[in-house]
């Protein structure tokens, strides 16, 4: 059996939300075991994503998730946190890729060669696969947070700044999973701080 040139597709989910971690995935697909229907995870229904996620995990030569937590996002900014999550996903693969295809226009610092592909989740099946398993993992996590922090609607909006989310933030305040460096959250914290300092005067 000849040695296979291993290429991993890498993508992250969760740059835009005001809450929760940024989750990345790296996937090395098996050319002998193709998967139908791979595309940008946002173009699929939740049910289809769930089915494909299970199929990818079953058929891929290797797959792994990586993440950067809220505290890291606030410390290093969302772009660097996304690159960090992608790097962690690649480093967690059980088989080491020789080359990585990264969704977007920047590559994380990796041990192997890498190329960034804008809209890669539409063009490269391995990146599509990564976007699907990352999105399913993050969506499930946000659904769990919905039970821990009721009233915010996390299961519905997954932490994105929807009208419902913004209204619940105003009423219920900021949780431990909110990104404090993001403008809408920072604004609410500043408002609460100014209220509490004026009430102490």
The pLDDT, as a whole number, for residue 136 is: 98
Residues 3, 28: Cα–Cα separation, whole Å: 14
pLDDT in tens, 76-126: 999 999 999 999 999 999 999 999 999 999 999 999 999 999 999 999 999
Domains and CATH numbers, the chain: 7-148 (3.30.420.10)
Does the pTM exceed 0.85? Answer: yes
- Please report how the helices 183-200 and 163-172 are oriented relative to each other, as an axis angle in degrees rounded to 10: 20
């Amino acid at each position: 059996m000849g040695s296979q040139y291993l290429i991993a597709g890498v993508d992250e989910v969760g740059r835009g939300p005001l809450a929760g971690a940024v989750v990345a995935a790296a996937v090395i697909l098996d050319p002998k075991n193709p998967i139908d229907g791979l595309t940008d995870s946002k173009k699929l229904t939740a049910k289809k994503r769930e089915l494909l996620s299970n199929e990818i995990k079953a058929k891929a030569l290797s797959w792994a998730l990586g993440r950067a937590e809220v505290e890291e996002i606030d410390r290093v900014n969302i772009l660097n946190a996304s690159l960090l999550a992608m790097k962690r996903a690649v480093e967690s693969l059980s088989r080491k890729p020789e080359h990585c295809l990264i969704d977007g226009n920047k590559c994380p610092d990796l041990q192997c060669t890498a190329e960034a592909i804008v809209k890669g989740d539409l063009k490269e099946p391995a990146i599509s696969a990564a976007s699907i398993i990352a999105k399913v993992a993050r969506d499930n996590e946000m659904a769990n947070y919905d039970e821990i922090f009721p009233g915010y609607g996390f299961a519905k909006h997954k932490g994105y700044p929807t009208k419902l989310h913004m209204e619940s933030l105003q009423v219920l305040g900021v949780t431990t999973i909110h990104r404090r460096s993001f403008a809408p959250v920072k604004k609410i914290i500043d408002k609460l701080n100014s209220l509490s300092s004026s009430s102490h005067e």
